[in-house]
Amino acid sequence: MSNYLGLIRRYWDFIPIEDENSICTLLEGNTPLISSTYLGPWLGLRLYLKYEGLNPTGSFKDRGMTVAVSKAIEEGARAIMCASTGNTSASAAAYAAKGGLNCYILVPEGKIARGKLAQAMVHGAKVVAIKGNFDDALRIVREITTKFSIKLVNSLNPFRLEGQKTASFEICDQLGRAPEYLCIPVGNAGNITAYWMGFSEYHERHKIDSRPRLLGIQAEGAAPIVRGEIVENPETIATAIRIGNPARWKEALKAVEESEGHMEMVSDKEIIQAYQLLAQKEGLFVEPASAASVAGLIKMVRTGWVEKGALVVCVLTGHGLKDPDVALDLSGLITECGPTVEQVIEKLGL
Ligand code: AN7
């Protein structure tokens, strides 16, 4: 029997759920902090990778969703709704199924990785594809959730952040201290905001003597915070962070400033390089948005922003199986072969 209880019970004192009967959990969290054996030595860093792809639905979103859905249940809600580039919808659909709620999802048409769409559909959510981008979808969801009695579960919902912040607690528990830098991809900017809340709360309560400098990484084609202006038509291979007007923009900037960190952007080419390095040298299959944090870190070591020897944690936000099309497009063709030992030996060049 597993004695893991899920985030809410594990961090009960830090999370504003009052009624234990309303807890809706899939035993999210408790993800591994993996010591990097290739990238770390290569970059001259003490590097750890927080593999959030091992949450129940394959992304970090489950941390926030367990709290947002439990709170919705506590408040008597019957339905939840979100706009999503994919992972939020997969998570919302799963927790709604577990909690017996209806789930409404708006996604940008044609820009959702197939694994994520499959998750939202299989869990029985009502999915609508908008002829527009994520920012359009979020605008519509905000309006509809004020008109109907449906709970919004995007990270504008403060309970999402209350759950997501627990990743910082885990990192401090796993390292026995806070890292010097935390490197994280930024889309709607909820996660980076939540990490800062988490490090700050742990710092206060457990007298941890430092907080990390936050390095937030955006994709070049969807980098409103780095550029300082809304991006009308965001584009990137990392569809999860294809967002032009982040809802938590101000909070993210404040977190980066307070931590004396930095916001950086990386090209799709750099994202793909990091994606392949993680897969081929670390054995970690992540989705492109997650590889953005590693691409950003590589860039910041090259530019001297992060010094050699630093203790760094990179957050790998989602599993690579979410987006099988990117993986297959980047790989060579499969070798076809007749069904004999000789033919296989020949094809493998043994
Ligand atoms: C893998 O699912 O916004 O900066 O609607 O799926 O907190 O938005 C996903 C975002 C990073 C960015 N990595 O986090 C959605 C959605 C992955 C993601 C982000 C997302 P935020």
* The pLDDT of residue 332: 83
pLDDT digits (tens, 9 = 90+) for 30-62: 999 999 999 999 999 999 999 999 999 999 999
pLDDT digits (tens, 9 = 90+) for 61-120: 999 999 999 999 999 999 999 999 999 999 999 999 999 999 999 999 988 999 999 999
CA-CA-CA-CA dihedral for 91, 80, 143, 89, to nearest 10: 20
50 shares its domain with 65: no
Distance CA 227, CA 125 (A): 36
Place of tokens 């922003």: 305
106 shares its domain with 245: no
Sorting pLDDT into bands at 50, 70 and 90, what band is 260? very high
89 shares its domain with 202: no
Q: Is the pLDDT of residue 1 over 60?
A: no
Sorting pLDDT into bands at 50, 70 and 90, what band is 203? confident
* The pLDDT of residue 206: 80
Distance CA 313, CA 33 (A): 8
Residue 193 annotated as part of some ligand binding site: no
Question: Counting Cβ atoms within 10 Å, is residue 233 exposed (0-12), middle (13-18) or buried (19+)?
Answer: exposed
164 shares its domain with 149: no
Distance CA 137, CA 340 (A): 53
At residue 156, φ and ψ (nearest 5 deg) are -65, -25
250 shares its domain with 280: yes
| Residue 62 identity | D
Query: What does the pLDDT average to over 111-136?
Result: 96
Q: Return mean pLDDT, the chain.
A: 96
Q: Is the CB of residue 286 below 6 angstroms from any atom belonging to ligand 1?
A: no
CA-CA-CA-CA dihedral for 309, 226, 130, 164, to nearest 10: 40
Q: Is the CB of residue 133 below 6 angstroms from any atom belonging to ligand 1?
A: no
| Cβ-contact 321, 315 below 8 angstroms | no
- pTM, 2 dp: 0.96
Residue 46's domain spans which residues? Answer: 7-59+159-329
Name the residue with the closest Cα to ligand 1, atom 10: 240
Distance CA 117, CA 125 (A): 10
288 shares its domain with 325: yes
Atom of ligand 1 nearest to the CA of 154: 5
Q: Which of 178-182, 255-259, 314-318, 333-337 has the lowest mean pLDDT?
A: 333-337
38 shares its domain with 172: yes
228 shares its domain with 274: yes
Choosing from 52, 63, 87 the residue with most ligand 1 atoms within 8 A of its CB, the one to mutate for a pocket test is: 87
Residue 348 inside a domain? The answer is: no
* The pLDDT of residue 3: 74
149 shares its domain with 28: no
Q: Where are the beta strands (DSSP E) in the chain?
A: 33-35, 46-51, 79-83, 102-108, 126-130, 151-152, 181-185, 213-219, 262-266, 311-316
Q: Is the pLDDT of residue 2 over 80?
A: no
Sorting pLDDT into bands at 50, 70 and 90, what band is 312? very high
